[in-house]
Amino acid sequence: MIQLLKPQIEGGRPLMQVLNDRKSTRDFSKEVLTIRVLSDMLWAAFGVNRPETGQRTAPSASNRQEIEIYVSTAEGLYLYDAEDHALQPVLAGDLRSKTGVQPFVGSAPVNLVYVADFSRMTDATDEDKVFYSAADTGFISQNVYLYCASEGLATVVRGLVNRPALARAMKLRSEQKIMLAQSVGYPKK
Ligand X SMILES: Cc1cc2nc3c(=O)[nH]c(=O)nc-3n(C[C@H](O)[C@H](O)[C@H](O)COP(=O)(O)O)c2cc1C
Q: Strand pairing partners for 148?
A: none
Rounded-to-integer distance, Cα 97 and Cα 107, Å:
8
Indicate whether 159 belongs to the interface with ligand X (CB under 6 A).
Answer: yes
Rounded-to-integer distance, Cα 41 and Cα 147, Å:
6
Indicate whether 177 belongs to the interface with ligand X (CB under 6 A).
Answer: no
* Minimum CB distance to ligand X, residue 111 (Å): 12
180 close to 114: Cβ distance less than 8 angstroms: yes
Q: Classify residue 186 by its DSSP letter.
A: P
- Per CB under 6 A, the segment of 11-19, 21-29, 65-73, 86-94 that binds ligand X is 21-29
- Per CB under 6 A, the segment of 43-51, 88-96, 113-121, 158-166 that binds ligand X is 158-166
185 close to 108: Cβ distance less than 8 angstroms: yes
* Minimum CB distance to ligand X, residue 5 (Å): 28
Indicate whether 165 belongs to the interface with ligand X (CB under 6 A).
Answer: no
- Positions touching ligand X (CB under 6 A) are 23-24, 26, 102, 156-160, 180
